[in-house]
Structure 1
Amino acid sequence: MVLNKWLIFALLFSGSICLGQNSTKKIPLSEVIITLEKQFNIKFSYAVEDVANISIEKPKVTFTLKETIDFLNSKTLLNFKALDDRYVTVSVLNKAISVCGIVFSDDMKSLLVGASIFVNNIGRSTLTDRNGTFKLQNIPINATLTISYMGFESKLISAYELFSAQNNCKEIVLPTKNEELNQVLINVYLTPGLQKYLDGSTVLNTKKFGILPGLIEPDILQSVQVLPGVESTNESIANINVRGGTNDQNLVLWDNIKMYHSGHFFGLISPYNPNLTNKVIVSKNGTSAEYSDGVSSTINMHTKDVVTNTFSGGAGINSISAETYLEIPITKKLELHISGRRSITDLLKSPTYTKYFERSFQDTEINADSDQHDTSSDFYFYDYTAKLLFDLNEKHQFRANIIGINNALDYSERRINTTQTQSKTSNLSQKNIGYGGNWKAQWNSKLSSNFITYFSRYNIDATDYRVETDQRLTEANEVLETGAKINTNYKKNDHLNLLFGYQFNETGMLNQTTVSAPFFSSTKKDVLLNHALFSEVEFNNDKTYLRVGMRLNYFQKFEKLLVEPRINIRQKLSNLFAIKLEGEFKNQSTTQIVDFEDDFLGVEKRRWVLVNDKDIPIATSKQGSFGMEFNKNKLNIEATAFYKIVDGITASNQGFYNRFQYETANGSYTAKGLEFLANKTARQYSVWVSYTFSTNNYEFDTFTPSTFPNNVDIRHSVSLGFNYDITKNLKVAVGGVLRNGQPFTKPIDNNETVINGNNTLVNYDSPNSENLDNFIRLDASLNYHFNLSESIKASFTAGVINITNQDNIINRYYKVNPNDSKDAIQVDNKSLGLTPNISFRVNF
């Protein structure tokens, strides 16, 4: 095995080992060799780099040649061997050793529990225990280890350097990342891999992710729904409601690229491959001034960002899809990370696929079954990512990213009557592709900067041919966004950090509809430019965390300036109690509207549009929250009260199924409530229960009544979960959700329809005055991991959603009975029934 010079330097650095002798003055080994060659009239044969940087004690002049060689062998990890009386060879030993270390934060006050220790090139890894200690046995003496921990700089260290500590575990210090003062508050939050930061944001570390009920992999957008205050009224990641907001009010970033795609299988599966995702930060309030354009939350995903010089990867398959990822070192400074995933649903119709298909396409033109005609469908999805990492030197890093997401559906329908056969073909395509790059620069120990640029493109296109009317309908929605941002961080000291920055965005949107027979075409394009300046101060010591910021947003088209203050405070009152205060103003210039029921075959009923500051105003939010925390012996209890007002929403954005369904109006909603979480973690288990109480009401001045419950007004929501490590390799998770059914509007009894001109409409009663039955679901997962070899790890995971096969109704609306226009037909959309899934994957 050929060793690189840097590896040999790390291997042999620190010189020789003193075996039970008192240290004396050491001299370079190269000088010792020259002296010995003269003393014994011999010649040493060696590579210069093998002896470089090694210093030892000088052998006694009374030693014979054999005693001298024995002495050299005892003082170094080199092999000195006399071939004859004239020549001595010198080579590097290649043997297995045992090492240990203790990992500290850079202030030497905190042991880093759960830090990752990875042995490069052979694939072995471990984690530090509760004492910050790790041990590894039988690893090559020439191996290099990577020590990493979230929020800290990774460090490379040679096995020999650890071994040279002899009976003592070497202390390893990881420096805090210069741009972060925000430290981890709770290392294990609900399950391993979920952590909580001091600023209240939640961090999902997919590499360390444990197991959550019902999930077979760390699905990013499914996982965040275990957090209090985060719901999905229709159990879809395409409809995540954070503190009463709609899904389009969540800012979703993937490596700083803004994403507009909702999800695979039209909302049931996260479109973001978790295997190269290093962390996901979810912020509900008190967001950094660096971010805007998401009035409900920010979901910020980061992929692995460290050049490890280690080839690794993995692959997996489940009942829906197959995926793989690779981390490929190209040079010492250049590395490529790639991932890909594709559904197998067009090849294998598994029971999981059948359940997902029925759930996704119910109440649409795409029907899973029909007794009156033959149907067939071809559905598939895929996603891919690639990231190029280049470290010019220790102070300058360059990154380039690409992400692609695609859903495609082809549907054919054949109707046979007594005289002819009619056929119909429809297709739907939904894509999102993003490109990004950034340059991180550390100008000195205090000043750093990060220049970010990205391009995002979202398209959804549908073609629907209707045989009955010989009519073809085509629809298109396109979003093009280009952005650039520069962040400058000045770390005054270990407690104080200053941030200054500028951001520019250009967003363009197109909406197009074309109908044949009779011909109709509508095309609308809009472009919006946005400039923003932001600044904040972040302070952190043992008791106080403070982040205060300000963001100035200027909309060039409207000549409008919006000022957004931000505040985030956490104060420890004692070792057990702390209080927190968060507040923010935010705005949003993009939104989704529901045009009509058969938009995009009825599968996707939402279109992205830009604000025009008239009938679609800029949405703004004001939010404040106050909470208390208790933390002792890994028991975490927290309660947070929040109050949020979002102004500038539109009736078309809310997707009303009531008398306001076709109205145009602007309004607001007010959400207020209380979030509670109790979580106890131990070495083998984690148990939690969360409860959210909230009220959420609309206010539209032009409507009667002007105030009524929000479509996602879920008053009470309880979730609980339990993770248990049965053995070291076997884990189980069980959990459930119980919440109120969402509001709906029923027709007026005995007067269910009304004639409006040439149209007959449902005659709705008071809006959202009724509630569906309670939603209840119990899920479970089982994970078993094992080693196929020393460098290849495997895992098998089984999950079941809705174990009890509960018949949950998640939406209800009414439509006019085509056979009797005086009656209204009730339409119920149902959640997933009992849905099993399994996965198998390997990592190397």
Structure 2
Amino acid sequence: MTLTRCIFYILFFFTCISYSQTTTAKKPLPSILNSIEEKFDVKFSYSVDDVNNVVIESPSPQYTLNQTIAYLNNKTLLNFKLLNERYITVSIVNKTIDICGIILAQENNTPLLGATIIITNTQIGTATNYSGKFKLTNVPSNATLSISYLGYATKQLKANYFFNEENNCKTIILKETNQELNPITITKFLTTGLQKRIDGSTVLNTEKFGILPGLIEPDILESIQALPGIESANESIANINVRGGTNDQNLMLWDNIKMYHSGHFFGLISAYNPYLTNKVIVSKNGTSSAFSDGVSSTINMFSKDHITNTFSGGAGINLISADAFLQIPISKKLEFHVSGRRSFTDYYSTPTYDNYFKRSFQDSDINTQEINQSNTSSNFYFYDYSAKLLFNLNPKHKFRANIIGIFNNLDYAETLTDTNQETTSKNSYLSQENLGFGGNWQAQWSKKFKTKLIAYSSKYTVEADDYTVQTDQRLQQGNEVLETGLKLNTHVLVSNHFSLLNGYQFNETGILNKTLVSNPSYIKEKKDVLLNHAFFTEGEYKKNSTYLRLGVRVNYFQKFNKLLIEPRLNFRQNIFKHLAVKLEGEFKNQSTTQIVDFQDDFLGVENRRWILANQENIPITTSKQGSFGLEFNKKNFHVDLTSFYKKVEGITASNQGFYNNFQYLNATGNYTSKGLEFLTNVTAAKYSTWLSYTYSINNYFFESFTPKQFPNNTDIRHSISLAFNYNIFKRLQISLGSIYRTGIPYTKPLEDNETIQVGSFYQVNYDVPNKENLDPFIRFDASLNYKLNISKKVQSSLRVGIKNITNQDNVINRYYTVDENNKQKAIQVDNKSLSFTPNASLRFNF
């Protein structure tokens, strides 16, 4: 009996397996259609694209032709229709379906977090989660999906490919592009749209950007301040300090055009429209040898570079400005992108504008409401625009042409009424502009060899006409930078794991500075020109858990007959599955710097002017930097610990903006910055939270000064930021954050001897430089983003942001001036940060 049962169960088991295999066996639809044609002597008429990816079970052999047609209609999203006894048409049924997929990397079948799935010719899409999974509902069955991920080849699939009766998720494998040796290691870093590459640089993808505390838009230069080691000591975008450096030590590129201007509102708003800026790559160390300048960092901005053959665009308005952008396909090979933004502050004043105005102009003539019997008024506006022409001659040869314009204008009127009640009015103005042109030719000569030829021109001008009624004096000032450049990159893919980059770069930089005074008459004008030739080479290797980029750049300055050799190193090695060690180092130089004059430059609003190195009193600035760190990354948990050491030589006293006894002296020195950066970040589908901490010591050294060594103006010993993002609902996000940092140094007047007479003038008699520190800077910010549901073709969002929720009274700078009523005394002047400042934006994308 027992043996009989065993035999029965065995036979039953194998029968079930056989039945299961028979019933679940699926075949490609074209193969099934061929069998049906032979069996019933009929002919199917269809598009290959419609049936290629359809897989179903074969119909029962006992079915008649009509039963077979009914079966096919039931099992697919296609419409099978008998025209007559011989011919059957096949077409796509126009209905919506729900689709589900899992995106994996081909190399190791790991899920890709943040892969983008877009329904082509629409603004509808989604992104994958930590499991690489995505879902889309109510998708037209005849739609095409574009699946993309940075560093991987894009795939396009029909929506009906995902259709199956069991509602199982289809698996899609993406293949790494052969030329991508620098992949993303962290796909969601702090917030969506922020990613970290294997070489340590950070990528800001503005199109996918989520939300950060206090921000209503993906402001490029504000967003990067969420990264450890990047501060703004005075809360200004025009003064970004990377590991203790000054703002002029950051190389800013926009589509390969070197930019000399960064902020609207004289530093409070980024001058680069984020809605055509596709991505930004920020490097603090270990930079590619293809780049020079920027001894502190490289901020490389790229606009959209792919022809989509889709008309799309967007527009938005906030409490400061309005903007719009368009992507216009002209033909399959030609496309035009354009964007523009303008403030409306010269027509209408908002509370946000009032706070920005007060913050920007608090330390200038512009914010003075009354000077003796003089009344003042001012009018300020800004705008920016960009355009790009994309032409693909063929898949192997692509041409691009760009233009970008940035403009700030301030008109200032002063009216004086004398004792006879006669009124005199005088107007002053300040304008600031950066205009850039660029173009490039990308050529793929073979699978392993490509070149890129780049040419650009950048012109920066700032002009001021300042008329003072009381002294009847007119002061005209100007600063102009004109740079042209040519660059050739050659890229050889030696193997799937190793590539070689070689290139040549030529730059001609001319800088003009002029000052004209009417009473007493005085004219000073100086123009310098510098030519620079550079050759660079580097090898990049990535295999499994090892990444290495090793390069060298050779710079030759024709005017000085000077040669500078700059080695570069970037190394990362996984020592365990989730733990990596990284080592970075670089030598860099820059020949353009800014000098700072707090006394009389440009109405006291813009205190910086660009100058060129002359190797006499203004040397070429050079830097040496090294960093070592550990990085732990496991699913949604990331920890980064990095130590760094940087020494920058060839700085001058005039470009540091001293408020002490050294501010009128000419001297050359250096500064040394060293410290530790820590970041921990936990992310999930609905939230992200992070804590960053930076400890640094930053000291000057000037041989001719006493004392020779003292704290740097941007010496911020401790800086902590904490933030939390949460998706409350599917369409509602909130972001909360806080910043704490120790106050920057300042110099007090000498006690009991606060001023000193020099000739017929008095000046402040300062004590030991930078001996004191301001109170700590504390700020709490919040943002809210709500996605409006208008239509399937139009995406819209309402964002609200508040900076300094608690209205903290932060002093960001302190200096002293001579008391005009008592020349023996000095008056303390405090510059304050933004007060409680709300802002809101409404956007529409189509």
Same fold flag (TM > 0.5): yes
Counting only pairs closer than 5 Å after superposition, residues 659-678 of structure 1 correspond to structure 2 as 659-678=661-680
Counting only pairs closer than 5 Å after superposition, residues 69-88 of structure 1 correspond to structure 2 as 79=79, 81=81
- Take 2:832 and 2:577, find their aligned partners in 1: how far apart are those partners? 47
Match for 2:831 among 829, 833, 839?
829
- The 1:572–1:663 alpha-carbon spacing in structure 2 relative to 1, beyond 3 Å, is same
Q: Does 1:370 align with 2:370?
A: yes
1:661-719 superposed Cα distances (whole Å, 9 cap, x missing partner): 11111111111111112222223222222211111111111111111111111111111
- The 1:378–1:94 alpha-carbon spacing in structure 2 relative to 1, beyond 3 Å, is same
Query: Which amino acid letter does the alignment assign opposite residue 407 of structure 1?
Result: N
Match of 2:400? 399
Task: Tell me, yes or no, if the aligned pair for 1:29 and 1:56 is still in contact at 8 Å.
Answer: no
Of residues 636-645 and 174-183 in structure 1, the stretch that sits farther from structure 2 once superposed is 174-183
CA RMSD of aligned residues (A): 3.1
- Take 2:345 and 2:613, find their aligned partners in 1: how far apart are those partners? 38
Match of 1:12? none
Q: Does 1:197 align with 2:197?
A: yes
- Take 2:802 and 2:370, find their aligned partners in 1: how far apart are those partners? 28
Note the C-alpha offset of 1:352: 0.5
- The 1:71–1:800 alpha-carbon spacing in structure 2 relative to 1, beyond 3 Å, is closer
- The 1:31–1:378 alpha-carbon spacing in structure 2 relative to 1, beyond 3 Å, is farther
Q: Does 1:274 align with 2:282?
A: no
Match of 2:760? 758
Match for 1:565 among 549, 564, 567?
567
- Take 1:783 and 1:656, find their aligned partners in 2: how far apart are those partners? 41
Instruction: Give the SS at the match of 1:836.
Output: strand
Of residues 176-185 and 23-32 in structure 1, the stretch that sits farther from structure 2 once superposed is 23-32
Query: Which amino acid letter does the alignment assign opposite residue 798 of structure 1?
Result: V
Q: Does 1:775 align with 2:772?
A: no
1:136-174 superposed Cα distances (whole Å, 9 cap, x missing partner): 233223322221222333333332444489865444333
- The 1:67–1:262 alpha-carbon spacing in structure 2 relative to 1, beyond 3 Å, is closer
Match of 1:417? 418
Note the C-alpha offset of 1:410: 0.8
Query: Which amino acid letter does the alignment assign opposite residue 430 of structure 1?
Result: Q
Instruction: Give the SS at the match of 1:500.
Output: strand
Note the C-alpha offset of 1:72: 8.5
Task: Tell me, yes or no, if the aligned pair for 1:256 and 1:436 is still in contact at 8 Å.
Answer: yes
Task: Tell me, yes or no, if the aligned pair for 2:805 and 2:836 is still in contact at 8 Å.
Answer: yes
Q: Does 1:818 align with 2:796?
A: no
Query: Which amino acid letter does the alignment assign opposite residue 395 of structure 1?
Result: K
Counting only pairs closer than 5 Å after superposition, residues 500-519 of structure 1 correspond to structure 2 as 500-519=502-521
Match of 2:660? 658
Note the C-alpha offset of 1:59: 12
Instruction: Give the SS at the match of 1:833.
Output: coil
1:301-348 superposed Cα distances (whole Å, 9 cap, x missing partner): 112222222222221111111111222222222222221111121122
Match of 1:182? 182
Query: Which amino acid letter does the alignment assign opposite residue 416 of structure 2?
Result: R
- The 1:605–1:19 alpha-carbon spacing in structure 2 relative to 1, beyond 3 Å, is farther
Instruction: Give the SS at the match of 2:408.
Output: strand
Q: Does 1:244 align with 2:244?
A: yes
Match of 2:228? 228
Instruction: Give the SS at the match of 1:353.
Output: helix
Task: Tell me, yes or no, if the aligned pair for 2:26 and 2:55 is still in contact at 8 Å.
Answer: no
Task: Tell me, yes or no, if the aligned pair for 1:314 and 1:325 is still in contact at 8 Å.
Answer: yes
Note the C-alpha offset of 1:647: 0.4
Query: Which amino acid letter does the alignment assign opposite residue 414 of structure 1?
Result: T
Task: Tell me, yes or no, if the aligned pair for 1:151 and 1:176 is still in contact at 8 Å.
Answer: yes
- Take 1:596 and 1:752, find their aligned partners in 2: how far apart are those partners? 19
Match of 1:94? 94
- The 1:28–1:459 alpha-carbon spacing in structure 2 relative to 1, beyond 3 Å, is farther
Counting only pairs closer than 5 Å after superposition, residues 150-549 of structure 1 correspond to structure 2 as 150-163=150-163, 169-367=169-367, 369-370=369-370, 373-419=374-420, 420-549=422-551
Match of 1:636? 638
Note the C-alpha offset of 1:178: 3.9
- Take 1:54 and 1:698, find their aligned partners in 2: how far apart are those partners? 67
Q: Does 1:130 align with 2:145?
A: no
Match for 2:587 among 570, 578, 585?
585
Task: Tell me, yes or no, if the aligned pair for 1:28 and 1:53 is still in contact at 8 Å.
Answer: no
1:736-790 superposed Cα distances (whole Å, 9 cap, x missing partner): 1111111111111111111222322211111111111111111111221132112
Note the C-alpha offset of 1:626: 1.1
Match of 1:6? none
- The 1:723–1:138 alpha-carbon spacing in structure 2 relative to 1, beyond 3 Å, is closer
- The 1:674–1:129 alpha-carbon spacing in structure 2 relative to 1, beyond 3 Å, is closer
Match of 1:13? none
Task: Tell me, yes or no, if the aligned pair for 1:29 and 1:51 is still in contact at 8 Å.
Answer: no
- The 1:576–1:54 alpha-carbon spacing in structure 2 relative to 1, beyond 3 Å, is closer
- Take 1:643 and 1:497, find their aligned partners in 2: how far apart are those partners? 29
Task: Tell me, yes or no, if the aligned pair for 1:381 and 1:406 is still in contact at 8 Å.
Answer: yes
- Take 1:24 and 1:124, find their aligned partners in 2: how far apart are those partners? 30
- The 1:676–1:53 alpha-carbon spacing in structure 2 relative to 1, beyond 3 Å, is closer
- What is the TM-score when the length of structure 2 is the normalising length? 0.91
Of residues 242-251 and 95-104 in structure 1, the stretch that sits farther from structure 2 once superposed is 95-104
Instruction: Give the SS at the match of 1:407.
Output: strand
How many aligned positions are there? 822
Instruction: Give the SS at the match of 1:677.
Output: strand
Match of 1:105? 105
Instruction: Give the SS at the match of 1:207.
Output: helix
Note the C-alpha offset of 1:28: 12
Instruction: Give the SS at the match of 1:123.
Output: coil
Counting only pairs closer than 5 Å after superposition, residues 50-61 of structure 1 correspond to structure 2 as none
Match for 1:809 among 808, 811, 814?
811
- Take 1:485 and 1:298, find their aligned partners in 2: how far apart are those partners? 17
Of residues 551-560 and 534-543 in structure 1, the stretch that sits farther from structure 2 once superposed is 534-543
- The 1:782–1:152 alpha-carbon spacing in structure 2 relative to 1, beyond 3 Å, is same
Of residues 612-621 and 514-523 in structure 1, the stretch that sits farther from structure 2 once superposed is 514-523
- The 1:50–1:575 alpha-carbon spacing in structure 2 relative to 1, beyond 3 Å, is closer
Q: Does 1:746 align with 2:748?
A: yes
Note the C-alpha offset of 1:394: 2.5
Note the C-alpha offset of 1:129: 2.3
Match of 2:10? none
Task: Tell me, yes or no, if the aligned pair for 1:234 and 1:811 is still in contact at 8 Å.
Answer: yes
Task: Tell me, yes or no, if the aligned pair for 2:583 and 2:628 is still in contact at 8 Å.
Answer: yes
Identity of aligned residues (%): 61
- Take 1:436 and 1:28, find their aligned partners in 2: how far apart are those partners? 55
Query: Which amino acid letter does the alignment assign opposite residue 530 of structure 1?
Result: N
- What is the TM-score when the length of structure 1 is the normalising length? 0.91
- Take 1:288 and 1:315, find their aligned partners in 2: how far apart are those partners? 36
- The 1:21–1:111 alpha-carbon spacing in structure 2 relative to 1, beyond 3 Å, is closer
- The 1:79–1:534 alpha-carbon spacing in structure 2 relative to 1, beyond 3 Å, is same
For structure 1, which runs of at least 5 residues remain unmatched after alignment? Answer: 1-17
Match of 1:712? 714
Of residues 307-316 and 237-246 in structure 1, the stretch that sits farther from structure 2 once superposed is 307-316
Of residues 692-701 and 632-641 in structure 1, the stretch that sits farther from structure 2 once superposed is 632-641
Task: Tell me, yes or no, if the aligned pair for 1:154 and 1:306 is still in contact at 8 Å.
Answer: no
Instruction: Give the SS at the match of 1:524.
Output: strand
Note the C-alpha offset of 1:612: 1.0
Instruction: Give the SS at the match of 2:355.
Output: helix
Note the C-alpha offset of 1:33: 9.7
- The 1:686–1:88 alpha-carbon spacing in structure 2 relative to 1, beyond 3 Å, is closer
- Take 2:164 and 2:492, find their aligned partners in 1: how far apart are those partners? 38
Of residues 24-33 and 629-638 in structure 1, the stretch that sits farther from structure 2 once superposed is 24-33
Note the C-alpha offset of 1:830: 1.0
Query: Which amino acid letter does the alignment assign opposite residue 728 of structure 2?
Result: I
Instruction: Give the SS at the match of 2:263.
Output: coil
- The 1:60–1:575 alpha-carbon spacing in structure 2 relative to 1, beyond 3 Å, is closer
- Take 1:815 and 1:702, find their aligned partners in 2: how far apart are those partners? 25
Instruction: Give the SS at the match of 1:392.
Output: strand
Note the C-alpha offset of 1:418: 2.4
1:572-592 superposed Cα distances (whole Å, 9 cap, x missing partner): 221232221111100001100
Query: Which amino acid letter does the alignment assign opposite residue 821 of structure 1?
Result: K
Query: Which amino acid letter does the alignment assign opposite residue 622 of structure 1?
Result: K
Query: Which amino acid letter does the alignment assign opposite residue 334 of structure 1?
Result: L
Match of 2:13? none
- Take 1:165 and 1:481, find their aligned partners in 2: how far apart are those partners? 63
- Take 1:636 and 1:24, find their aligned partners in 2: how far apart are those partners? 43
- The 1:734–1:764 alpha-carbon spacing in structure 2 relative to 1, beyond 3 Å, is same
